[in-house]
C-alpha cells in the first residue's frame, strides 16, 4: 500500500502548513498554524471541542477551503490540486456516513467507483479489506445491522479502497467500547506497518500516547504544543504526579510554599491539587501531614492527559 521505502529520503512532507487560517463568519476556527507531518508516521491532533482540529482535517481532505496561509498535502497545493490530492487520500469522518441503502460490500464497491477503480479489481480489494477489518462474514448484511464498532471498521475499510498514501481519521474511536477500540487500534497499527501516513484527531489521551509518533495540542485555533508524546509529558509536567485531595482546613498556597524547590509545578482545581515532580512518592513522604491534612493522596506516572489539561485548562469549553 505504501510507496515510502524504509530508509529512502522522502521527497516532501505528507502534510505541511504555514500560517494556515480559516474563519467561519466572525469566528476564527484555525488561527495561523504551522506544522509538518513526515511521511509514514502517525500524527495526532489533540484539543478540546472547538479547538480547530476537525476544520484543519477538512482543509486537508478538501471539504473546507483555505482562507489564508499555505497548506500542502503530499507535496501539492491543497486548493489548486484538490482533486488529485483526494485521489490519494482516505478519510474516516467523525460522523458515520455509510450508505444505509447498500450492503456492507456494496458500500466498498461504490467507493471504488468514485475512485475510478475497475470492477474486477474493486471486488478483489473489497474482499481483502473486509478481512482486514474483520467484517468479512458480514459482507452481505445491510449496514444498519452492524454494531458501532463494525461500522467504524467498515469506515476504515472504505477509506482504504482508493489505496491511499495518507489516511485522515477524525475521532476514529469515539463512542466505542474497549474491545471495539482495541480492534480499531489493531487496524491502525497494521496500516502504519505498511507505511501509510496516519493523521488522527482524538479526545482519548491514552489513544494518542499509544498510536501517535508525534502530535500537536490545539486550543482556540492555535497550536499550543508540538512533539513526541513522551517528550511533551517530560517537558510540560515531569515524570510523576502527586494528586492530593485536600481537606477543608488545608491551605493550598502554604502547602505549595512548604515544598519549595521539590516540585516542578502545580495545578489546583476545586479541592484537588496536582503536584508535578520527578519522584512523587518522595514528595508525599516529605509532606507535613499534620499541617496539611488531605483526604487522599495518589502518586502516579505523569501522562499526556496532565499535559493536555495543563495547556488547555480544566474548565468546560462548551
Partner 1 sequence: MAMLEEPGYAGIGPRVPLRELVPIPRLAGAVWLRNARVFSKLWRGALLPTFLDPFLYLLALGFGLGTYVAHINGIPYKDFIAPGLIASAAMWSSAFETTYNVYFRMNELRLYDNVLSTPVEVQDLVAGDLAWSATRATVYGIVVLAVIAIFGLVSSWWALLIPPFVLLGALCFSVIGYAFTTLIPKIDLYSYFFTLFITPMFLFSGLFFPFSKLPEWVHVVAWFMPLYHLVEITRGLATGPEFWSVIGNSAWLVALTALLFTIPVRALRKKLVA
- How many CA atoms, within 13 angstroms, populate the side-chain half-sphere of residue 313? 9
Quote the DSSP letter at residue 284: H
Distance CA 300, CA 281 (A): 8
Least distance CB 317 / partner 1 (angstroms): 22
How many other C-beta atoms are found inside a 10 Å radius of the C-beta of residue 192?
Answer: 18
Residues 124-143 that bind partner 1 (CB under 8 A): none
Considering only 57-65, 182-190, 225-233, 235-243, which stretch makes contact with partner 1 by CB under 8 A?
57-65
Single residue of 3, 18, 113, 314 touching partner 1 by CB under 8 A: 113
110 is a contact residue toward partner 1 (CB under 8 A): yes
Considering only 35-43, 110-118, 200-208, 287-295, which stretch makes contact with partner 1 by CB under 8 A?
110-118
158 is a contact residue toward partner 1 (CB under 8 A): yes
99 is a contact residue toward partner 1 (CB under 8 A): yes
63 is a contact residue toward partner 1 (CB under 8 A): yes
Considering only 45-53, 77-85, 210-218, 306-314, which stretch makes contact with partner 1 by CB under 8 A?
77-85
Distances (CA, A) of 242 to 99, 233, 237, 245, 261: 49, 15, 11, 10, 15
Give me the DSSP letters along 141-210. Answer: SBGGGS-HHHHHHHHHHHHHTT--SEEEEESTTTT--HHHHHHHHHHHHHHHHTT-EEEEEES-HHHHHH
Q: Which residues pair with 264 in a beta bridge?
A: none
Single residue of 5, 19, 65, 251 touching partner 1 by CB under 8 A: 65
Considering only 4-12, 30-38, 44-52, 55-63, which stretch makes contact with partner 1 by CB under 8 A?
55-63
Binding flags for partner 1, 15-54, as an x/- string (CB under 8 A): ---------x------------------------------
Distance CA 168, CA 163 (A): 13
Look up cell 512518592; give the residue. Answer: 281
Q: Pick the closer one to partner 1 by CB: 253 or 318.
A: 318
91 is a contact residue toward partner 1 (CB under 8 A): yes
Cell of 52: 480547530
- Size, binding site for partner 1 by CB under 8 A: 29
Cell of 180: 471495539
Single residue of 149, 162, 229, 238 touching partner 1 by CB under 8 A: 162
Considering only 99-107, 197-205, 237-245, 296-304, which stretch makes contact with partner 1 by CB under 8 A?
99-107
Contacts of 265 (CB under 8 A, 6+ apart): 237, 238, 275, 276, 310
Distance CA 160, CA 111 (A): 9
61 is a contact residue toward partner 1 (CB under 8 A): yes
Considering only 91-99, 233-241, 267-275, 288-296, which stretch makes contact with partner 1 by CB under 8 A?
91-99
Distance CA 274, CA 291 (A): 18
- Contact residues toward partner 1 (CB under 8 A) are 24, 61-65, 82-84, 86-87, 89, 91, 93, 95, 97, 99-102, 106, 110-111, 113-116, 158, 162
Amino acid at each position: 500500500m505504501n510507496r515510502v521505502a524504509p530508509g529512502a529520503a522522502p521527497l516532501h512532507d505528507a502534510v505541511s502548513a504555514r500560517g494556515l487560517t480559516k474563519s467561519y463568519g466572525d469566528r476564527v476556527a484555525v488561527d495561523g498554524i504551522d506544522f509538518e507531518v513526515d511521511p509514514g508516521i502517525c500524527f495526532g491532533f489533540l484539543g478540546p471541542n472547538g479547538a480547530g482540529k476537525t476544520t484543519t482535517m477538512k482543509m486537508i481532505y478538501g471539504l473546507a477551503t483555505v482562507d489564508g496561509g499555505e497548506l500542502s498535502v503530499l507535496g501539492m497545493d491543497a486548493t489548486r490540486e484538490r482533486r488529485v490530492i483526494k485521489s490519494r487520500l482516505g478519510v474516516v469522518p467523525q460522523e458515520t456516513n455509510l450508505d444505509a441503502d447498500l450492503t456492507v460490500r456494496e458500500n466498498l464497491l461504490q467507493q471504488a467507483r468514485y475512485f475510478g477503480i475497475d470492477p474486477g479489481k474493486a471486488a478483489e480489494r473489497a474482499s481483502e479489506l473486509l478481512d482486514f477489518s474483520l467484517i468479512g462474514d458480514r459482507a452481505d448484511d445491510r449496514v444498519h445491522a452492524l454494531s458501532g464498532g463494525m461500522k467504524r471498521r467498515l469506515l476504515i475499510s472504505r477509506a482504504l479502497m482508493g489505496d491511499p498514501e495518507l489516511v485522515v481519521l477524525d475521532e476514529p474511536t469515539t463512542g466505542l467500547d474497549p474491545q471495539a477500540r482495541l480492534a480499531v487500534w489493531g487496524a491502525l497499527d497494521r496500516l502504519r506497518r505498511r507505511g501509510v501516513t496516519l493523521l488522527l484527531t482524538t479526545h482519548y489521551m491514552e489513544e494518542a500516547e499509544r498510536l501517535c509518533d508525534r502530535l500537536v495540542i490545539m486550543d482556540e485555533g492555535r497550536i499550543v504544543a508540538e512533539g513526541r508524546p513522551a517528550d511533551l509529558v517530560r517537558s510540560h509536567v515531569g515524570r510523576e504526579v502527586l494528586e492530593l485531595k485536600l481537606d477543608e482546613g488545608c491551605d493550598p498556597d502554604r502547602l505549595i510554599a512548604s515544598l519549595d524547590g521539590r516540585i516542578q509545578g502545580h495545578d489546583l482545581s476545586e479541592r484537588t491539587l496536582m503536584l508535578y515532580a520527578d519522584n512523587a512518592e518522595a514528595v508525599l513522604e516529605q509532606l507535613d501531614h499534620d499541617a496539611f491534612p488531605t483526604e487522599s493522596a495518589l502518586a502516579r506516572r505523569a501522562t499526556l492527559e496532565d499535559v493536555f489539561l495543563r495547556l488547555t485548562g480544566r474548565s468546560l469549553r462548551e
